[in-house]
C-alpha cells in the first residue's frame, strides 16, 4: 500500500521548535475529522499553524484531501493509541481502509503536524471471526457449493486473506453437470441469468459495471471480480458479490436494499471460467488489505437436511429453508 503523507521532516522541525506542543488536543482533532468528513479542505487549512500553511498552501491542501477522500472515504471512527515523537497517534478507521492518523497541535490549538500511514498497531490484524448479521442465501432454489470451507481441499480461496472464506456456487443437475447441451455458451449453464438477491437489509456501497461476460472456459484476470456489488450491513460487514451478467445489475451505490431484493443476474464476467456466484464477507469495502469473515447463514437446507447458523462446504447442495 502506498503511504499517504501530509508532512515532510521540515514541518516537524518547525512545529517542534520554538513553540510549545500540545500533543493531543481533543477539540482540534474533533474539528479536523468533522471538516474532513464534510469535504471542507478550506476549513481544515484554517486549522493549520502558520508553518503548516506556509509549507502546504491551500491548493495543495485541497488536492491532498480530495485524493484521500476519493481513495479512503470518510473517517468512521478514530481511537488514540499512543503519543510518540510529538504526535498523538490514532487508529483511524476510514470507509475503505485503516490508517495511523498522527496529529500534533500547538499552544494555539493549531495543527502543526499531520501524517497518514498504513496502520500496523494493536488490533491491526485481528480478524472478525464470523458475521453477526443474520443472512439468507442470496438466491432461490437449490445450488451447489463448488468451493467452500476452511481447507485447501475444500476451498482454493483460503490462501487469499480477503477471500479465505469465499464461496463459489453453481447450479448442478442430478448427473453432476452445471450445464445443459455442450456447455459452450453461457446460456447453456443453469446458473446463468438467475436472480441474485440481498441476503439481508444493507447499503450498496460499491457497484462495478461494464465488464463483458466471458466465453466459457476463458478468464479475465485483469478485471478479477467482473461486474460486482458490495453491500455494507448494519454491523459493518461488507458482502461482496462477483461475476454478475453484463447489464443486469439493478441497484446503484447509495441504495438501501431489503432482504430478498434482486441485485442483478448471475453471469460469467471477470476471472470466471463459467457462470457462477462468487460470494464472501470482508471487514472493509476495499478488497485490497481486507480480512475475510467466515459466513454463516441463518436457516437453510443442506443435502435435504435443515440447518441453522451454518457455513456450507464444498460438495453440498444448499437452499433456503421455507
Q: Is residue 126 part of a domain?
A: no
Give the domain extent around 28.
9-118
Total count of domains within the chain = 2
- Answer yes or no: is 112 within a domain: yes
Residues 93 and 157 in one domain: no
What CATH number is given to the structural domain containing 282?
2.70.70.10
259 and 157 within one domain: yes
Check whether residue 103 and residue 242 sit in a common domain. no
CA distance 298 to 305: 14
Chain mean position to CA 180: 35
pLDDT in 10s for each residue of the chain, 322 residues: 333 334 333 333 233 333 445 567 788 999 999 999 999 999 999 999 998 998 889 999 999 899 888 888 899 888 888 888 888 999 898 887 788 999 998 888 899 989 888 888 876 655 668 999 999 999 999 999 999 999 989 999 998 888 999 999 999 999 999 999 999 999 999 999 999 999 999 999 999 999 999 999 999 999 999 999 999 999 989 999 999 999 999 999 999 999 999 999 999 999 999 999 999 999 989 888 788 999 999 999 999 999 999 999 999 999 999 8
Residue 151 sits in the same domain as residue 283: yes
Question: What distance in Å separates the CA atoms of residue 133 and residue 267, rounded to the nearest whole number?
Answer: 26
Q: Are residues 219 and 313 in the same domain?
A: yes
Q: Is 132 part of any domain?
A: no
Q: Are residues 67 and 176 in the same domain?
A: no
Domain co-membership, 167 together with 267:
yes
Q: What is the CATH number of the domain that holds 59?
A: 3.10.450.590
Q: Are residues 182 and 281 in the same domain?
A: yes
The answer to the question of residue 4 being in a domain is: no
- Residue 38 and residue 151 in one domain: no
pLDDT of residue 125: 57
Q: Tell me how far apart the alpha carbons of residues 161 and 288 are, in angstroms, rounded to a whole number.
A: 9
Backbone phi and psi for residue 234, each to the nearest 5 degrees, phi listed first: -65, -15
Residues 263 and 313 in one domain: yes
Buried b (16+ CB within 10 A) or exposed e, 151-179: eeeebebbeeebbbbbbbbbbbeeeeebb
Kindly report the CA angle at 57 between 56 and 58, in degrees rounded to 5? Answer: 120
> Do residues 258 and 198 lie in contact, with contact meaning Cβ atoms separated by under 8 Å?
yes
Q: Read off the DSSP letter of residue 269.
A: B
Model-wide pTM > 0.85: no
* CA–CA gap between residue 266 and residue 169 (Å, rounded): 10
Amino acid at each position: 500500500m502506498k503511504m499517504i503523507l501530509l508532512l515532510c521532516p521540515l514541518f516537524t522541525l518547525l512545529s517542534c521548535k520554538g513553540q510549545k506542543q500540545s500533543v493531543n488536543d481533543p477539540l482540534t482533532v474533533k474539528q479536523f475529522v468533522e471538516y474532513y468528513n464534510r469535504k471542507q479542505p478550506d476549513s481544515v487549512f484554517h486549522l493549520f499553524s502558520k508553518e503548516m500553511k506556509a509549507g502546504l498552501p491551500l491548493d495543495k491542501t485541497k488536492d491532498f484531501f480530495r485524493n484521500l477522500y476519493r481513495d479512503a472515504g470518510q473517517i468512521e471512527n478514530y481511537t488514540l493509541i499512543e503519543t510518540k515523537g510529538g504526535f498523538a497517534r490514532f487508529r483511524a478507521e476510514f470507509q475503505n481502509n485503516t490508517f495511523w492518523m498522527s496529529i500534533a497541535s500547538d499552544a494555539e490549538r493549531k495543527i502543526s503536524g499531520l501524517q497518514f500511514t498504513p496502520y500496523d498497531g494493536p488490533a491491526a490484524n485481528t480478524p472478525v471471526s464470523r458475521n453477526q448479521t443474520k443472512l439468507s442465501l442470496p438466491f432461490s432454489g437449490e445450488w451447489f457449493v463448488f468451493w467452500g470451507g476452511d481447507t485447501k481441499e475444500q476451498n482454493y480461496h483460503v490462501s487469499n486473506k480477503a477471500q479465505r472464506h469465499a464461496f463459489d456456487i453453481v447450479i448442478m443437475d442430478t448427473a453432476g453437470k452445471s450445464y445443459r447441451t455442450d456447455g459452450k455458451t453461457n446460456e447453456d449453464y443453469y446458473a446463468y441469468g438467475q436472480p441474485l438477491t440481498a441476503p439481508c437489509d444493507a447499503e450498496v456501497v460499491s457497484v462495478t459495471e461494464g465488464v463483458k461476460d466471458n466465453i466459457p472456459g476463458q478468464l479475465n484476470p485483469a478485471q478479477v471480480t467482473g461486474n460486482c456489488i458490495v453491500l455494507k450491513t448494519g454491523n459493518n460487514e461488507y458482502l461482496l458479490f462477483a461475476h454478475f451478467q453484463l447489464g443486469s445489475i439493478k441497484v446503484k451505490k447509495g441504495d438501501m436494499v431489503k432482504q430478498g431484493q434482486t441485485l442483478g443476474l448471475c453471469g460469467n464476467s471477470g476471472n470466471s471460467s463459467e457462470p457462477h456466484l462468487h460470494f464472501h464477507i470482508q471487514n472493509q469495502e476495499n478488497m485490497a488489505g481486507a480480512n475475510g469473515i467466515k459466513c454463516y447463514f441463518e436457516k437453510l437446507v443442506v443435502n435435504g437436511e435443515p440447518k441453522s447458523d451454518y457455513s456450507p462446504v464444498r460438495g453440498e447442495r444448499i437452499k433456503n429453508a421455507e
